[in-house]
Amino acid sequence: MRPGPGDAGAEQPADKLRALLHIARQLNAERDLSSLLHLIAREAARLLDAELASILLLDAARGELWSKVTLDADETLRFDANQGVAGEALRTGQIIRVDDVAREPRFFAGVDARTGFATRNLLAVPVRNLKGEIIGGFEVLNKRAGAFNEEDVEATRLLVAQASIAL
C-alpha cells in the first residue's frame, strides 16, 4: 500500500539523506570558521525542523564551553563545561535526548536566562576530532512538532560527523 497525501511520506528519509549530502558539500566548501559554524547550525535546525542549533566548542584550558552560534548574537556565550546536558554529553561521550527540559535535572537553565530563549526539548551530541577526542558539543533545540525521534538522532549523528571533519 502506497502512502497517501496525508501520511508520513516514505520519501522522508531519502529527503533527509539528500539534505545531509547537500550540507556536506557546503561544509567542505566553507573555509571561514565563523561562517562554517553558522552554516552548520542553520542547516541542522532546518533539517530537523527545530528552532535553533548551536555548536559549543570546548576550551579545555578554561574548562568552559563557548559558542558564537546562539540566536545569531555577536556576543560569545561561555559557561562551565561541566554544566547542563551539553556538559553531560561531553563527560559521557553519549548522545542525550531530552523530551521535556522541565523534567530533566541535568538541564542548565542559566543559558536560557542569559539569552532569553526558552528551551523545551533538545538533542545534545558530543563533537569529536579525527583522533576521537571530544572537542565540543552540538545541541539542537525545540523540535517544532513533537519531540526528537531516533531518525533525528541519526541525522544529527551524521551531520556532526561531517561537521567535525570540516572543523
Q: Give the separation between CA 75 and CA 98, rounded to whole angstroms.
A: 26
Query: So what's the pLDDT on residue 75?
Result: 67
Query: So what's the pLDDT on residue 10?
Result: 39
Cell of 83: 554544566
3-state secondary structure 88-129: HHHHHCCCEEECCHHHCCCCCCHHHHHHCCCCCCEEEEEEEC
pLDDT in tens, 30-78: 777 777 778 888 888 988 999 999 888 899 999 999 886 554 556 678 8
Q: Give the separation between CA 40 and CA 81, rounded to whole angstroms.
A: 21
